[in-house]
């Protein structure tokens, strides 16, 4: 059973990709500035997905992101920061959760560690999983995942090598099949976000949509106002 309460509005997750912002010497500062802007604008979650950072670098960056979250969102300084793949870093730095790949650390192995070392008295430690098929989604949900990402729903350059997008019909089938919140990812835009929510998604996750927005507060207000299906 998910540790997340049923959302009253769409969950919006900004997935970071610092390589798209600046060359390495300036990347950390540019990405932290974007994270601070996202927190200030009211994004729900930020998933730190910097795969080229080693463990120590990722830990230091996560710590800085958590400090930024505390400044801008003191009510959600933990739960709004999720670390991609690295459960050890997420637990050590006191992040709000970990996001696992479909073929990475199994939820069944991560869940006991998360419950033992990650949960606080007032906030659960979230375990999320990226899923690309209905069987994988069912396994993740049954194993204790709090939420799922499903995609790519639409065509997106970063996933073009993996074949055709999944589409809204598969998203709807998956949302009906599991009891945990599902966030749509892959090619999400302002124009197609509503169709993901009407298909049963509890929110959306994206890189470019949030990272490249020229007016992030206005974008988030528009997306948060969309009805859930």
Q: Which domain holds residue 148?
A: 11-224
Look up residue 78 and give its two tokens.
Answer: 């933990």
The answer to the question of residue 22 being in a domain is yes
- Structural domain tally of the chain? 1
Q: What is the per-residue pLDDT for 37?
A: 93
The answer to the question of residue 188 being in a domain is yes
Helices (H), 118-226: 134-142, 168-177, 193-198, 208-211, 216-224
Query: What is the pTM (predicted TM-score) of this model?
Result: 0.94
**Could you tell me the CATH number of the domain that includes residue 122?**
3.20.20.70
The answer to the question of residue 3 being in a domain is no
Q: What is the mean pLDDT of residues 215-228?
A: 97
The answer to the question of residue 119 being in a domain is yes
The answer to the question of residue 89 being in a domain is yes
pLDDT tens for 144-184 read 999 999 999 998 876 666 668 999 999 999 999 999 999 99
pLDDT tens for 89-142 read 999 999 999 999 999 999 999 999 999 999 776 788 999 999 999 999 999 999
């Amino acid at each position: 059973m998910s540790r997340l309460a049923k959302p009253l509005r769409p969950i919006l997750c900004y997935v970071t990709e610092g390589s798209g912002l600046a060359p390495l010497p300036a990347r950390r500062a540019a990405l932290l500035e974007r994270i601070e802007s996202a927190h200030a604008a009211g994004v729900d979650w930020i998933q730190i997905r910097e795969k080229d950072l080693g463990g120590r670098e990722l830990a230091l960056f996560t710590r800085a992101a958590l400090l930024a979250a505390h400044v801008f969102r003191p009510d959600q300084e933990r739960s709004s920061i999720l670390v991609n793949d690295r459960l050890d870093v997420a637990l050590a730095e006191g992040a709000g959760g970990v996001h696992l790949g479909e073929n990475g650390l199994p939820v069944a192995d991560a869940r006991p560690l998360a419950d033992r070392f990650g949960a606080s008295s007032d906030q659960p430690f979230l375990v999320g999983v990226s899923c690309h098929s209905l069987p994988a989604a069912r396994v993740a949900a049954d194993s204790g995942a709090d939420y799922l990402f499903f995609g790519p729903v639409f065509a997106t350059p970063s996933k073009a090598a993996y074949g055709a997008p999944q589409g809204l019909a598969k998203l709807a089938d998956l949302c009906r099949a599991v009891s945990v919140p599902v966030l749509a990812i892959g090619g999400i835009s302002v124009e197609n976000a509503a169709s993901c929510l009407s298909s049963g998604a509890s929110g959306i996750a994206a890189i470019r949509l949030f990272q490249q927005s020229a007016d992030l507060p206005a974008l988030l207000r528009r997306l948060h106002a969309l009805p859930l299906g």
